[in-house]
Amino acid sequence: MDLVPALEEPLKKVVGPATAKVMAEHLDLHTVGDLLHHYPRRYAERGELTRLADLPLDEHVTVVAQVASARLHTFRSPKAPRGQGQRLEVTITDGSGELRLVFFGRGVHKPHTELLPGTRAMFAGKVSVFNHRLQLAHPAYELLRGGDPDAVDSWAGALIPIYPACKQLESWKIAKSVETVLPSAQEALDPLPASLQEGRALIPLPEALLKIHRPHTKADIATARDRLKWDEAFVLQVALARRRYADAQLPAVARRPTKGGLLDAFDAKLPFTLTEGQQKVSKEIFDDLATEHPMHRLLQGEVGSGKTMVALRAMLAVVDAGGQAAMLAPTEVLAQQHHRSIVEMMGELAEGGMLGGAEQATKVTLLTGSMGAAGRRQALLDLVTGEAGIVIGTHALIEDKVRFHDLGLVVVDEQHRFGVEQRDALRGKGKQPPHLLVMTATPIPRTVAMTVFGDLETSVLDQLPAGRSPIASHVVPAQDKPHFLARAWERVREEVEKGHQAYVVCPRIGDEEDDPRKGAKSGGKKSAEERAEEAATAEKRPPLAVLEVAEQLAGGPLRGLRVEALHGRMQPDDKDAVMRRFAAGETQVLVATTVIEVGVNVPNATAMVIMDADRFGVSQLHQLRGRVGRGSAPGLCLLVTDMPEAAPARARLGAVAATLDGFELSRIDLEQRREGDVLGQAQSGVRSSLRMLAVIDDEEIIAAAREEAVTVVAGDPDLKHLPELRTALDALLDAEREQYLDKG
């Protein structure tokens, strides 16, 4: 949050062009204010050693530790001078665990003289695995010696700040740059109203910035964090409160279902009773649709909790009231699946204008980018005349040519897969703003929903309909125990022999376009030591690919079974044909990418094997797993990984295997990945506009900030009397994010 113009001086003027370039490109830091708000991730104490046991694989880390041993090895290498190569292995310890550092070639000389047993230093590098042990290859390091005047100056405080860093710029170099800009903290304007600061006993912002970067005690860190968390929570909640306030001023057409209309006819022919949850959520939606302001509601529920049924009833209510409803799906496979299942559920009620159609019937139209010209022309005609009450489509619905007769409701499935512009373009097709229902099968903890979707009212479906079966999940450590993987393929065979079907999921397609090895050249013969050196510094092997795995399975462990492949780059007709064969039971094993992650419904599929499961996020694994156990037979999900037992990825997979509670898993997921840029279009990922606030841990602050924000906005919607808050808001909402909030 660049709070004030006074802090907007470009970094290149202060820290020099080379450092500024790295900060801009790799850490997204551009101004003095950005650097002041780049807070330490944690603090190391002179006498305290850090925990090496918690190192995340494949991430850039900084650790403070002590050298336990250092050994120099020589090996034969035709490339090295005089045919002798050198490798230095240093073991560092933190008292609870050890980590290996490796240096090769000319890079061994300096660390060999400096990293002697007993030496304490800060080490920075990317964590990799070699021979089942975690290591840092060629790490950067900074010695921590009391007698060194530079070190004493750099680490004068008892607490050493460890900053989020990158390969090109280590934590200690960032610390030196912060030292340069720290005097500017005095000029930071305070965005919090004075009454709020006093009421919550928060320290002023300049003092908080000084204490977070150069604390003298742990109490300094705590008071600084409390204050900085409030800044983030409050400014964000003011942005969302202003958005809700503006929405409440917009007009919309109230849509009330007609007695004896389409919805009543549909309910009368349902072969089952809606769950209590479905009835409760439907009432919340119908109440919203009956108002003259646009509904903005998030419908979240576990995989298979019946969200589509709730959304369909809302669409039917809008059609009853004379409007049209559009459902936006993220992929063609999912749009076709929704269209098929909705037409099946509605029966003759979906045959409006056709022979045999019921009296109250409407037409349900599909519109996707790959449709033929004649089908597309007819679909567009159905929409503009109002013949089609319900349309289901992909982003093809958003194109300029598409016109509606009277768009009353937009249902967005899997909200996180759509850009803001796409949703906005569809909402802009109504004569007045249509009502909006956003669905997600990724359960979101309450405060995350309140922060990320703070402008939406939230409905939760947490009951599974009757008849859904439990899913057993197990981790298969393929590298440690290869016989476990062999047993996994036997289990797939057993399920098929019982008349069931199975999915095998891979992270990559494996065609020319996504082959990471394409163009790689193999050199001459290498010595064992050279291969070890390469392996020590190389990236992990490429992710397993659908096309390769399908071929290997069909010719190996699943020989004799009908195996087919499915991925996103296939022609739409081919994809649909593969899905139809699988749904009809003709294909026994479907090897696919995450194209099957949402919406694919094959009740006879009971087993799923996820290859390289460590390459998927927790929520994604939970989504994928929800594709099995959709019928009366129990489901089985096997998470295959090469990761060693100590790796954090294994702990993550263990958590997925241990619970089917999506809300619990989403908390674990969030704690591991951070919140992502909650105001940008990515709702997860590396970059976060929340630098201090942890959505899961700071629930109370977020809830309190929301209350304060609502009060402030109700009394002064334009923030005329709070110029510092307005400035902070402008900084938070740069052009892109302002648009994001405007569009929802």
Residues 6+ apart with CB under 8 A from 574: none
Q: At what angle do helices 276-289 and 307-320 cross, to 10 degrees?
A: 30
Residue in the block written with tokens 């646009």? 294
Q: Using one digit for the tens of pLDDT, what is the confidence trace for 334-358?
A: 888 889 889 988 988 888 766 555 6
- Give the DSSP H or E segment for 91: strand 84-93
Report pLDDT digits (tens) over 565-605.
998 888 878 888 898 899 999 999 999 998 876 657 788 99
Higher pLDDT, 502 or 260: 502
- The reported pLDDT for the residue numbered 537 is 45
Predicted confidence at residue 682, as pLDDT, reads: 35
Residue of higher predicted confidence among 684 and 719: 719
Model confidence over 551-565: pLDDT tens digits? 999 999 999 999 999
Q: Do 581 and 473 form a contact (C-beta atoms < 8 A)?
A: no
Paired tokens of 465: 């309909």
pLDDT of residue 134 exceeding 60, the answer is yes
Q: What is the pLDDT of residue 448?
A: 64
Give the model's pLDDT for residue 740.
Answer: 47
Question: Which of the four pLDDT bands, split at 50, 70 and 90, describes residue 728?
Answer: confident
Task: Write the pLDDT tens digit of every residue in 426-462.
Answer: 667 778 888 989 887 766 665 566 666 666 778 888 7
Please state the rounded mean pLDDT for residues 493-513: 89
Rounded average pLDDT over 30-50 = 80
Beta bridge partners of 102: 89, 137
Choice between 454 and 480, residue whose per-residue pLDDT is larger: 480
pLDDT value of position 266 = 93
pLDDT of 287-338, one tens digit each? 999 999 888 888 888 766 788 899 999 999 999 999 999 998 888 878 888 8
**Measured distance CA(420)–CA(436) in Å, rounded:** 13
Mean per-residue pLDDT, 534-538: 47
| pLDDT at residue 112, rounded to an integer | 93
Q: Inform me whether the pLDDT recorded for 259 exceeds 70.
A: yes
pLDDT score recorded for residue 688: 47
**End-to-end Cα separation, the chain, in angstroms:** 21
Residues 602-636: tens digit of each pLDDT? 889 999 999 999 988 887 888 888 888 887 788 99
The pLDDT of residue 744 is above 50? no
Give pLDDT, residue 664.
76
Q: Which residues touch 92 (CB under 8 Å, ≥6 apart)?
A: 52, 63, 65, 66, 67, 68, 98, 99, 101, 123
What is the distance, to the nearest Å, from the Cα of residue 603 to the centroid of all Cα atoms in its chain? Answer: 28
**What value does the mean pLDDT of the chain take?**
82
The pLDDT of residue 696 is above 80: no
Question: Do residues 724 and 189 lie in contact, with contact meaning Cβ atoms separated by under 8 Å?
Answer: yes
The pLDDT value given to residue 364: 94
**pLDDT surpassing 70 at residue 150:** no
Is residue 520 very low, low, confident or very high in pLDDT (cuts 50, 70, 90)?
very low
In this prediction, residue 326 carries a pLDDT of 93
pLDDT at 662 over 80: no
Higher pLDDT, 566 or 517: 566
At residue 370, what is the residue type? S
Average pLDDT over residues 635-651: 87
Report the greatest alpha carbon distance in the chain: 93
Find out whether 370 and 395 touch, Cβ atoms under 8 Å: no
Least confident window among 275-289, 701-715, 719-733: 719-733
For 182-238, what is each residue's pLDDT tens digit?
Answer: 999 988 888 999 999 999 999 999 999 999 999 988 899 999 999 999 998 898 889
- The pLDDT tens digits for 4-27 are 455 788 888 888 899 999 999 988
